[in-house]
Amino acid sequence: MSSGKALVVFKDALLRPQHHGKNLFTNPLSLDILPTQKWAVTGTHKSRLLQALAGQFTAVPASSRTYPFLENKVWPATACSLIMFDTDIKPAYLAARYEFFREAEDADLESFLRSAFHADKTDTAAIEKQEKVFNEVVDRLGLRQLLKQWVVTLSNGQNRRARIARGLLKSPRILLADEPFLGLDPGATENLANMLGELYPNPYVILGLRAHEPVPSWITHMAVADENGIVDAGTKEAVAPTIKKLIDQRNALFHDVEPFDFEAAGMTPPLREGVESIIDIDHATIQYEDRMVINDLKWVVKRGDRWHLRGNNGSGKSTLLSMLTADHPKSWNSKIKMFDEPRKVGKHNYFSINRAIGHASPEIHAIFPKTLKARSAAATGFTVGSFLPPAASAHVAGGLNKEQMYERVNKLLEYFKVDGNTTFGDLTLNDQKVVLFIRAIIRNPEILILDEAFSAMNDESIFRCKKFVDEWGGTVIAIGHVNDEIPRCDKYIRLHGGHTKPEQGLVE
Ligand SMILES: Nc1ncnc2c1ncn2[C@@H]1O[C@H](COP(=O)(O)OP(=O)(O)OP(=O)(O)O)[C@@H](O)[C@H]1O
């Protein structure tokens, strides 16, 4: 496919959003991407640069951004497939993932993937080629056995692989993927990195990576972008000092974060006296039809414990957490004890269970309403099991009135540097994740569940959240594939997705 002509050329290009005039980078961009070079972009504004490379935004003058390798009449924005992992597959509510009943508009994975096809149905050669690509992509991304599964039931890592597959099935000339390895387990990361390298140049691939992330060995060139524009670009070796500087700045950030004043916010350690086991699961098993997901789990969480819940994508981590939060139909099981009491219908309900729990996860993010102001969005954490801010008369454990609740919200928003007046949907992805973290912690819960809660946050927010949780006094259960993105933990439990019993130990 390679014609030798450049893929993308920016020549003093000013980039602007379609409908208003402010430049997206302060300085004009200049960059040549040749077909023999394999690029990754990084830096604070890498996503914006990827969007610009994918033909989004208006280039001024129009001739300052060209795609010389494309034939006339091919529209760059359709020749490029940009995959960015904000949340766009939404179940209507949290428990929907685990329910048997499906709405007509829910799609199984195969239909979801095939909806990317656009070949003329009478063109048998094109159809045949599509099928070949379909089979190859499905097998290489380990999706074959999931094809009949509803998309909403896929685990986060499976969902990511599905979206990368769909991006590839659109047969783009250039595939641009922003942080494609985020949330993937190490095996899936290696597999995907190899696959993208082997596919090149069908399609050409441009990756967006965080500066401290390992760079796939086949990448030859890197560009670094910040708010001013492209600050460095060239061979991987030539750009290495700039990237090292970014990593050093990042590490320094962690030491610069000031501690949060828990006492001033009235958030003293929420450890219930006289109760040893916060959670006690006695030999529980979960399976879907013939697929065992959780195999004979025996797990005791003691007050003040800090657990890292580990396991490959699809090994059952979120399923286990959904049993704790009563989002899973199998939650109503006397094999699950909380605070030494076996769970019983009639005695316990969703609200009584979740009163003790603060929870942030990609699933909550996917269904969270976009229209609340950030301040009200964070305050919804005071209302158990609801996305509504607390009513004027509301009191939470600890007896706060509305004014005191918002005083705590404001302290946290200030510490985490989020503007409380901005509407949730208008916040950056980073700030949305931070607001959902604040929402999880706002009630000072006895148990804090962080399911990939820090992934997709920027470095400063990750460090602030980690410092906060490290110094907070309650019981913590955290999921994260990258150690960098979980708070301090002292014990771990590793799930194996039903093949083998879970294993437990002390964090090394
Ligand atoms: N309703 C369902 N029907 C069938 N399979 C399901 C259903 N819900 C979940 N699964 C499957 O159960 C397995 C466990 O999913 P879970 O989300 O718990 O994994 P996970 O360990 O959290 O993965 P990840 O690291 O990717 O987030 C996956 O294979 C998923 O596809």
Beta bridge partners of 230: 225
- Output the CA 495–ligand 1 centroid distance in Å: 12
> 250 and 281 share a domain?
no
Q: What ipTM was predicted for this assembly?
A: 0.97
Nearest C-alpha neighbor of 269 from the set 57, 446, 19, 500: 446
* Number of domains making up the chain: 2
Query: What's the mean pLDDT in 404-424?
Result: 96
| Integer Cα distance of 393 and 33 in angstroms | 60
Q: Band the pLDDT of 218: cuts 50, 70, 90.
A: very high
* Cα-based torsion angle of the residue sequence 99, 100, 104, 109 in order, rounded to the nearest 10 degrees: 90
Model confidence at 392, in pLDDT bands (50, 70, 90)?
low
Q: How confident is the model at residue 192 (pLDDT cuts 50, 70, 90)?
A: very high
**Residues within a 6 A CB radius of ligand 1:** 97-98, 149, 153-158, 288, 293, 311, 313-319
pLDDT at site 287: 86
At 87, is the pLDDT very low, low, confident or very high (cuts 50, 70, 90)?
Answer: very low
Quote the pTM value: 0.86
Q: What is the pLDDT of residue 229?
A: 97
Structural domain of 202: 8-255
> How many angstroms separate the alpha carbon of residue 310 from the centre of ligand 1?
14
Most confident of 53-57, 325-329, 340-344: 53-57
Task: Render pLDDT for 330-363 as a digit per residue (tens, 0 to 9).
Answer: 888 888 999 988 988 788 888 889 999 999 998 8
Same domain, 251 and 289: no
In a domain, 3, yes or no: no
Residues 15 and 158 in one domain: yes
Assess whether pLDDT exceeds 70 at residue 210: yes
Report the alpha-carbon distance of residue 17 to residue 349 in Å, rounded: 48
Q: What is the CATH number of the domain that holds 63?
A: 3.40.50.300
324 and 227 within one domain: no
Residues 219 and 298 in one domain: no
Between 493 and 21, the more confident residue is: 493
Task: Report if residue 87 sits inside a domain.
Answer: yes
pLDDT of amino acid 390: 81
Domain for residue 267, yes or no?
no
Residue nearest atom 4 in ligand 1 by C-alpha distance: 288
Same domain, yes or no, for 118 and 148? yes
Which ligand 1 atom lies nearest to the CA of residue 322? Answer: 18
Q: Separation of 288 CA from ligand 1 center, angstroms?
A: 10
With a cut of 50, say whether residue 182 has pLDDT above it: yes
Tokens 């090292």 map to which residue?
244
Q: Is residue 427 part of a domain?
A: yes
Centre a 10 Å sphere on the Cβ of residue 186 and count the other Cβ atoms it contains.
11
Interval between CA 441 and ligand 1 midpoint (Å)? 26
* Residue 104 scores a pLDDT above 50: no
Residue 96 pLDDT > 60: no
| Domain contains 268 | no
Same domain, 285 and 339: yes
Ligand 1 pocket test, pick from 164, 318, 330, 361 with the greatest ligand atom count within 8 Å of Cβ, gives: 318
Q: Is 71 helix (H, G, I), strand (E, B) or coil?
A: coil
92: left (phi over 0), alpha (psi -120 to 50) or beta: alpha
Residues of the chain above pLDDT 90, percent: 66
Distance 497 CA to ligand 1 centre (A): 9
Do 239 and 283 lie in one domain? The reply is no
Residue 272 forms part of a structural domain: no
* Cα 320 to middle of ligand 1, angstroms: 10
Task: Specify the pLDDT at position 400.
Answer: 83
Ligand 1, pocket-test mutation among 89, 106, 308, 319, most atoms within 8 A of CB? 319
Checking if the pLDDT of 449 tops 60, the result is yes
158 and 19 share a domain?
yes
Claim to verify: residue 147 and residue 213 sit in the same structural domain: yes
Contact assessment for residue 338 and residue 356, using Cβ atoms and an 8 Å cutoff: yes
- Ligand 1: which residue has its CA nearest to atom 9? 153
221, 255, 289: which is the final residue of a domain?
A: 255
Cis peptide before 35 (omega within 30 of 0): no
Ligand 1: atom nearest CA of 157 is 26
User: What gap in Å lies between CA 229 and CA 294, rounded to an integer?
Assistant: 48
- Confidence at residue 479, expressed as pLDDT on a 0 to 100 scale: 95
269 domain residue, yes or no: no
Residues 446 and 303 in one domain: yes
Atom of ligand 1 nearest to the CA of 185: 25
Q: What is the DSSP letter of 362?
A: H
Strand arrangement, sheet containing 475-479: 357-360, 447-451, 475-479, 306-310, 491-494, 503-506
The verdict on residue 2 lying in a domain is no
Domain co-membership, 296 together with 251: no
The arithmetic mean of pLDDT across residues 53-66, rounded, is 94
